[in-house]
Amino acid sequence: MNEKALDETSPLYLSGALLDGWYAPSLRGDGNTGLGRWSEADIYQFLKSGRNRHAVVFGSMTDAYNNSTQFMADDDLKAVARYLKSLPGDPGRDGAPWKYEETSGGALAMGERSKLPGTQTFMARCSACHGPDGRGQGQWIPPLAGSASSMAKENASSINATLNGSGRVVASGIPDAYRMPSYRNQLSDQEIADVLTFVRTSWGNRGGTVKPEDVKNLRERTNPASSEVIVLQMR
């Protein structure tokens, strides 16, 4: 991996990058695609428990969490959180602040958007967990409305999570109960592209459409998440 910048003198420092088939989001104050809407306490909680009301760790952050950040001293985690909140975002890159827009289950079934092919898939396969309103369920199921992964123009994390599901998050020796299932064997490239196009253009999200070729490409390059065995053995 090539570093874009080495310290905070560059506005590109910690501003997000593609890594192992995931898009590691900005850790700067970007309100849509970074930590702008997270409080210092949210960041601390994320590093300590692997989840908060905005997101759950994914990709290589799951390993970083399982094997490292949860074991750091509280004071260090708080210092990291404070430091990250000191890095300004870039509205030029990030765009106008996200605002929730109503695209609710009822309206979906009736309205314009019911014509989008991904709408039905979302209601049938995803809404039980992520909610017809896209808001998720507290810290257990992350929201898709306003999430960095649904706002970033890079769509790798949306696709990878849906294709491969999530790796097991092990907090204080206890594996998590709620996981993102893998849809690799249940949905075609076209169906995943359609459902994610729905997700990334609903509720005020502006990540944009997903093409079947993008899904095909990641399908060939990635495998279903399975970090649990390694993690349990390392503890």
Residues contributing to the site for ligand HEC (CB under 6 A): 55-56, 58, 125-126, 128-130, 141-142, 144, 147, 149, 158, 161-162, 166, 169, 178-181, 183, 195-196, 199
In the complex with ligand HEC, the residue whose CB is nearer, 79 or 89, is 89
The residue assigned the tokens 């989008």 is 116
Residue 194 to residue 211: CA distance in whole angstroms = 8
Task: Evaluate the CA torsion angle 180, 183, 187, 190 in order and state its sign.
Answer: positive
Task: Evaluate the CA torsion angle 18, 24, 27, 29 in order and state its sign.
Answer: positive
CB of 27 to ligand HEC, least distance (A): 14
Residue 149 to residue 22: CA distance in whole angstroms = 10
In the complex with ligand HEC, the residue whose CB is nearer, 97 or 175, is 175
In the complex with ligand HEC, the residue whose CB is nearer, 5 or 109, is 109
CB of 6 to ligand HEC, least distance (A): 27
CB of 2 to ligand HEC, least distance (A): 24
CA distances from 91 to 154, 180, 209, 227 (A): 17, 31, 22, 36
In the complex with ligand HEC, the residue whose CB is nearer, 77 or 199, is 199
Cα-flanking dihedrals φ and ψ of residue 187, to 5°?
-120, 140
CB 181 within 8 A of CB 128: no
CB of 166 to ligand HEC, least distance (A): 3
**Structural tokens at position 17:** 């990058």
In the complex with ligand HEC, the residue whose CB is nearer, 108 or 199, is 199
Residue 173 to residue 90: CA distance in whole angstroms = 38
CB of 145 to ligand HEC, least distance (A): 11
